[in-house]
Structure 1
Amino acid sequence: MTDEYSSGLGPLGDAAMIASMVGRDRSDAASYARLLTETLAGVLPADLVRVEYRRSLADRMAGRPGEARRITLATDAGEFSLDADGDRLTGEARRIVGGVVLSRKPITVEEWTHRLAAELRTLAARSDATRQALGRVLGVE
C-alpha cells in the first residue's frame, strides 16, 4: 500500500481499515478468503493461523493446495474462523480451554474483522517482528 492509500493511522490503523473493508464488501468470498489467507499466513506466526483448503481432483493431480475455505486464528481467548462457501462468508468464535471447545458462537463477518483488527493490534504491540511484517504487507515501513 502506498502513502496515497494510507489512512495516516500507521500500519495498525491501515490493517484495521483493510479488515473493515473486507467485512463491508464481500461480493467475492473466494477472493477475500484468498487475500486473507495469503496475507495473514505470510505475516503472522504459523501457530496463530491455520488455513483449510478445498482441493478438487485437478488440484490434487497438479499438486496445488486448492481453494482456501476456512481461515482460523488462535488467540489467548480461543479461536475465531471465517469460512468461505461459494459467495457466502460465515464466522464462528470458539472458547477453548485445555484443548477442549467449551462454546461455539456464530459471528458476523463484521465481528470477525473487528476481532482480526484487535488481534493484529495486540500482536504488533507485543512483537517488533510482527509490527515490521505488517508494515511490509501494508507498504508502510
Structure 2
Amino acid sequence: MPEPDVQLLAAALRRDSADLNLYVDVLSANLADSLPPGAVRVERRRSLAERLAGHEGSVAALDVTLGERRLSLRNERGRVTGEICHEVRGITLSRRQVGLDEWIDALAASLADAAASNARAREAVERFLA
C-alpha cells in the first residue's frame, strides 16, 4: 500500500494547481530527506529577484531513481508532466510519458518495492549474523 503522505500530496497536486510549485517543492524535499544520497535530483529555476533575495526558487525538475526505475517530473509554467524510465546500468531501455496520477502511483509502488527489498536484505543479514 502506498505511503499516506504520497497519497495526500497527489490529491493536493490534482486539486489545487495554483499551489503546484509549493507541493512539488514539498514532495522533492521529503524525498531528498528520506531516500539515500544520489537517489533524488532536484533542478530549480530561480528568477533574478529570487537570486538577489537568496531564495532557492521553484522546482523545475525532479528525478527519483529507485532500482532500475527512474521517475522524472517536470514543472513548467504551472503544468506538471511525468516520465517513467526503465534503466539498467545507466542505459535507458524504455521511456514513457505519463500523467501526474500515474506518476504518483508509480512512485508509491517503487517506494514500496524498495522498502520491501531493504527489509528482506536486512532480514537476510540478521539471519546470517545470528
Q: TM-score range by the shorter chain?
A: 0.7 to 0.9
The 1:23–1:58 alpha-carbon spacing in structure 2 relative to 1, beyond 3 Å, is: closer
In the TM superposition, residue 89 of structure 1 has moved relative to its aligned partner by 0.9
Larger Rg: 2
Cα distance, 1:101–1:13 mapped onto 2, change above 3 Å: closer
Residue type at the aligned position of 2:36: P
Shift of 1:85: 1.4
Asked whether the 8 Å contact 1:94–1:105 carries over to 2, the reply is yes
Confirm or deny that 1:34 pairs with 2:25: yes
- 1:17 aligns with 7
> What CA distance in whole angstroms lies between the structure 1 residues aligned with 2:69 and 2:118?
20
Deviation sequence 1:71-127 (CA, Å, 0-9, x none): 111022231111111221110112223323333211110110001111222233344
Q: Residue 126 and residue 18 in structure 1: after superposition, are their counterparts in 2 closer, same or farther (change >3 A)?
A: farther
Indicate yes or no: 2:73 matched with 1:77: no
Instruction: Give the structure-1-normalised TM-score.
Output: 0.69
Partner Cα separation in structure 2 for residue 55 and residue 121 of structure 1: 33
Aligned-residue identity in percent: 35
Structure with the bigger RCO (C-alpha within 8 Å, sep 6+) is: 1
Name structure 1 gaps, 5 residues minimum.
1-8, 129-141
Indicate conservation of the 8 Å contact 1:80/1:92, yes or no: yes
What's the CA shift for 1:52? Answer: 0.7
Q: Which moved more, 1:116-125 or 1:50-59?
A: 116-125
> Which residue in 1 is equivalent to 2:110?
119
> What is the CA distance between 1:17 and its match in structure 2?
2.6
Which position in structure 2 is the counterpart of 1:139?
none
| TM-score normalised according to structure 2 size | 0.74
* 8 Å CA contact retained: 1:19, 1:117: no
Aligned to 2:127: none
Any gaps of 5 or more consecutive residues in structure 2?
120-130
Provide the residue aligned with 1:53 in structure 2: 44
